[in-house]
Amino acid sequence: MARVKTRYVCRECGGVSAKWLGQCPHCQAWNTLDEQKESAGGAERHRYAPLVASSPIRRLGEIDAREQPRLATGIAEFDRVLGGGLVPGAVTLIGGDPGIGKSTLLLQTLAGMAEHHRVLYVSGEESGDQVALRARRLGVASANVELLTEIRLESIQAAMTESEHPPAVVVVDSIQTLYSAELTSAPGSVAQVRECAAQLTRLAKQTGVALVMIGHVTKEGALAGPRVLEHIVDTVLYFEGDSHSAFRLVRAFKNRFGAVNELGVFAMTDRGLRGVNNPSALFLSQREAAVAGSCVMVTQEGTRPLLVEIQALVDGTHGNHPRRLSVGLESNRLAMLLAVLHRHGGIVTYDQDVFINAVGGVRIAEPAADLPVLLAILSSLRDRALPAGLAVFGEVGLTGEIRPAPRGQERLREAAKLGFTQALIPRANAPRQPIPGLTVHAVESLAAALEHVA
């Protein structure tokens, strides 16, 4: 009988320790080492196995690389995030908070693709009756969607390869529920997640199956399991949204077959998720008159320009230290922008509480939000609304210069399409040809931008 060895594996980084420690020696995380048992005989067999190349060595120029046709999901917003659809042989990992709609979206996707492709839904969390009831509630109870309720990896592999015509698309819900009989650790452990994901990825590459795996997230919002899980897959998507809001955002953080930071916008209805054709309308307040403390910026999410309203509230502080709070924007950058506003604009805010919010729950990380944030702060401080129909974007440097933003022409065209009549932008983004219906004001410095809205 093979001797059983005990080791301790970090659930955060996958590091291995011979004994239990309060702090992981690899990633310095606390209380993350889990006990795992493995057969020493299996390790010895792998250690002394002969080294044989599994595939021949070829020259890069000799490979006949061809662009494979994508499998359209039938949901335009989902196809946008994927880069045009699912790629045969590619592995996609989608994560999000519990109950946000991951399973709903993928069940709707399979129901639409089942008309033209063989699809398989592997459920490790719900029974067949539960999946069927949810499909009927969504109105997607297609007879062509194949369902397998299984958590054993070897059984799932057999279902994917047992027939002459393997499924074109396989959805695994979820990767944390699977286990391999080769390992003695429990499902959801670092070793099981890593091994099951690696085996399914290898099988998808060999058979050309488009594999989609659902992943759990931790309380910090990161995907649960080892970090290597995000490295071995081709695409990583995050499902974002507030449980109190009807809108959901699907964002691509990694995509080997498309643009990263692409954004898909969905509305949760009683019939499932529906794509939103004009997402800019979600992030703009529907009011008739302009108000102080509001500025509309044109941001870029992947290949899509979006108009988002930035709101600011500046109020006198009631303590020794003024508050700086930012929702949807970088908090550290807010303090820097206030210092630039004081130095190069002569606007003092050290005795004021400053609150910033991006409407609609969207998160903006690009520096092109600098100028809209400062103008919204100035508008709230002076209690004076900005000019009606004004759209703004531009990065503000520490010396007060206004730096250009990428894809400025697309941002301006999007603003003109939505009825905006004025744009305050960096001089380097000024269009060579006039845009019908849009008056462009190009500035080089923060002082010039403040003078324009004075």
Asked if pLDDT for residue 452 goes beyond 50, the answer is yes
Asked if pLDDT for residue 40 goes beyond 70, the answer is no
Q: What is the pLDDT of residues 70-117, one digit of tens each?
A: 999 999 999 999 999 999 999 999 998 888 899 999 999 999 999 899
Quick count: other Cβ atoms within 10 Å of Cβ 144? 13
| pLDDT value of position 47 | 46
For residues 428-437, average pLDDT: 92
- % of the chain with per-residue pLDDT over 70: 94
CA atoms within 13 A on the CB side of 201: 18
* Cβ–Cβ < 8 Å for 32, 10: yes
| pLDDT value of position 391 | 95
Q: Which CATH number describes the domain made up of 282-453? A: 3.30.230.10
pLDDT greater at residue 28 or residue 376: 376
| pLDDT value of position 43 | 47
For residues 419-436, average pLDDT: 93
Domain 70-277 is classified in which CATH homologous superfamily? P-loop containing nucleotide triphosphate hydrolases (3.40.50.300)
Quick count: other Cβ atoms within 10 Å of Cβ 445? 18
Asked if pLDDT for residue 1 goes beyond 60, the answer is no
Q: What is the pLDDT of residues 297-347, one digit of tens each?
A: 999 887 788 999 999 999 998 888 899 999 989 888 999 999 999 999 999
Asked if pLDDT for residue 361 goes beyond 90, the answer is no
- % of the chain with per-residue pLDDT over 90: 57
Q: What is the pLDDT of residues 129-175, one digit of tens each?
A: 999 999 999 888 777 899 999 999 999 999 998 877 889 999 999 89
Question: Chain-centre distance of CA 323, in angstroms?
Answer: 30
Nearest to 411 by CA among 305, 329, 338: 305
* Cβ–Cβ < 8 Å for 372, 258: no
For residues 191-213, average pLDDT: 93
304-316 sheet: strands from edge to edge: 324-327, 352-358, 304-316, 294-301, 390-392, 422-426, 439-443
| pLDDT value of position 45 | 45
Domain ranges of the chain: 4-47, 70-277, 282-453
| pLDDT value of position 260 | 84
Distance CA 109, CA 132 (A): 15
Q: What is the pLDDT of residues 243-252, one digit of tens each?
A: 677 788 898 9
- Band of residue 12 on the pLDDT scale cut at 50, 70, 90: confident
| pLDDT value of position 367 | 94
- Band of residue 259 on the pLDDT scale cut at 50, 70, 90: confident
| pLDDT value of position 32 | 81
Helix (H, G, I), strand (E, B) or coil at 217: strand
pLDDT greater at residue 144 or residue 2: 144
For residues 383-389, average pLDDT: 92
Rg value, the chain, Cα:
26
Asked if pLDDT for residue 2 goes beyond 60, the answer is no
Q: Comparing 23-32, 331-340, 367-376, which segment has the lowest mean pLDDT?
A: 23-32
Asked if pLDDT for residue 41 goes beyond 60, the answer is no
For residues 221-227, average pLDDT: 80
**Mean of pLDDT over the chain:** 88
Amino acid identity for residue 420 in this structure:
F
9: left (phi over 0), alpha (psi -120 to 50) or beta: beta
* Cβ–Cβ < 8 Å for 105, 78: yes
Nearest to 273 by CA among 75, 123, 72: 75
Check: pTM over 0.85? Answer yes or no. no
| pLDDT value of position 50 | 57
Asked if pLDDT for residue 380 goes beyond 80, the answer is yes
Asked if pLDDT for residue 19 goes beyond 80, the answer is yes
Tracing tokens 């959901």 back to the chain, one arrives at: 248
